[in-house]
Amino acid sequence: MSRIGIAALCVGAAILIVVILTSDRPDDESGKAFATAVAIAFTSLTAAAGFNLVERQPGIAVFGYLTLLASLVALLTTANLIWGDSVLSSSDAAKAAWYSLIAAFAFGNASALLAGHDDDDPDSVKLVRLGTVVALWALAISVVAEIESPGPDLNPHQIGITAVLYGLGALVLPLLRLAER
């Protein structure tokens, strides 16, 4: 299965190179290729976190598989937005891409946090991990709500504080694990 995926990626890359070389607008096509490469890099990181969770925590492997699905959807919707001529309108394609990228980010980060779980971890580490995952999902939901309803409907203090709490947890967790050993 992996070899089929590798072959498909190589064929896709060859086709993209031909498109760039034969394009009337090489700057435009090269820009789209660069944006696609960035999307692939981002979604490959979130997918890697999902694969890691599946391998390290079989009891919650379904969450890892959801991460893989979210990563694939994010890549497809972003590629659709970049390469255009979508059945979706431009603003709908952009919203779909943003929502799927936010979901991939949230699933990927949660997978990375959950993959590091060890039953022997002290309660303080487990609590910080749980709080960080909760803050991450609260932040993702807040950002989606802000996209859906821009303007003064949402409290910027809440989004900012949630972002700080998530960032703090992500930074403190590895330090706490070292300190608790």
Q: What is the mean pLDDT of residues 100-115?
A: 96
Q: What is the DSSP string of 34-78?
A: HHHHHHHHHHHHHHHHHHHHHHH-GGGHHHHHHHHHHHHHHHHHH
Residue 72 has a pLDDT of 95
CA atoms of 178 and 45, how far apart (whole Å): 24
Are 173 and 128 in contact by the 8 Å Cβ rule? The answer is yes
Residue 87 pLDDT greater than 60, yes or no: no
- Cβ neighbours around 82 below 10 Å, total: 17
- Give the percent of the chain with pLDDT over 90: 48
pLDDT at 113: 94
**Average pLDDT of the segment spanning 135-147:** 90
Distances (CA, A) of 41 to 27, 68, 75, 86, 160: 21, 14, 10, 23, 27
pLDDT in tens, 5-56: 677 778 878 887 887 788 777 777 788 888 888 898 899 999 999 999 999 9
